[in-house]
Amino acid sequence: DQQVKQNSPSLSVQEGRISILNCDYTNSMFDYFLWYKKYPAEGPTFLISISSIKDKNEDGRFTVFLNKSAKHLSLHIVPSQPGDSAVYFCAASAWMQGAQKLVFGQGTRLTINP
Amino acid sequence: NAGVMQNPRHLVRRRGQEARLRCSPMKGHSHVYWYRQLPEEGLKFMVYLQKENIIDESGMPKERFSAEFPKEGPSILRIQQVVRGDSAAYFCASSPGGAGYEQYFGPGTRLTVT
């Protein structure tokens, strides 16, 4: 039962253009959403988050959009840079059985082409 | 302010041996989470601990796996009698606690069972 899904395993974008990474979830209990970035042989790095009471959060080149009715969120990176090439994980948070839990998607490998 | 520390970074064990993975959370963080990532998959939650307490171990296999977070010292994930299927990257994350807090990840331990 995949509660958080990233349906695109990979994405290739030209440098300077916009990268859009998508994520869908099924559990209405999720109340906080996060994006992590991961380079090979390193741990995931927190990138940006959004509370379920908001529909947009922006931090520099990164913007996360949340559509609660569609249970969908997206991460926009603009302009895309070569250093953005990494695997991006979407994660959703909820209190379950007395503890905060993060549920991760499978990840999307983003490649920025010069 | 040091980040989350994990050691060893790489661990090779033969089938039937024990594997011990260590995690030191960020300073000031009292919540520790362990995740496992199999090749080409996302991160799967294993266990959530606070100092001296296991809060949620619903993601941990019932046999051979155990975790602790003592009052003093790092958190330990212990795998007894390892099998080839245990080969994976194991990530530890820490947070100051509470719903909505981001989790900060260590660099991971890559376990290889031969």
* B111 φ/ψ angles, rounded to the nearest 5 degrees: -95, 130
Rounded CA separation B14/B2 (Å): 32
| Whether A102 and B33 lie within 8 Å, measured CB to CB | yes
Rounded CA separation A22/B6 (Å): 30
Residues from chain A contacting residue B104 (CB–CB below 8 Å):
46
Of B42, B99, B105, the CB nearest to A43: B105
- The contacts of residue B62 (CB under 8 Å, 6+ apart) are none
**What does DSSP assign to residue A103?**
E
Residue type, B87: S
Of A89, A83, A70, the residue nearest A111 (C-alpha) = A83
Q: Which residues pair with A38 in a beta bridge?
A: A87
Residues from chain A contacting residue B101 (CB–CB below 8 Å):
100
Structure confidence by residue, pLDDT tens digits, A74-98: 999 999 999 999 999 999 988 776 6
Structure confidence by residue, pLDDT tens digits, B56-104: 898 999 999 999 999 889 999 999 999 999 999 999 999 887 655 688 9
SS3 assignment, position A84: helix
Strands A32-38 and A45-51: antiparallel
Name the minimum distance, in Å, from the CA of B52 to any CA of chain A: 15
Residues from chain B contacting residue A95 (CB–CB below 8 Å):
99
Name the minimum distance, in Å, from the CA of A106 to any CA of chain B: 4
Structure confidence by residue, pLDDT tens digits, A17-70: 999 999 999 989 898 999 999 998 899 999 999 999 999 999 999 999 999 999
Query: CB contact, 8 Å: A85 with chain B?
Result: no
Q: Which of residues 67-106 of B touch A (CB under 8 A)?
A: 91, 93, 95, 98-106
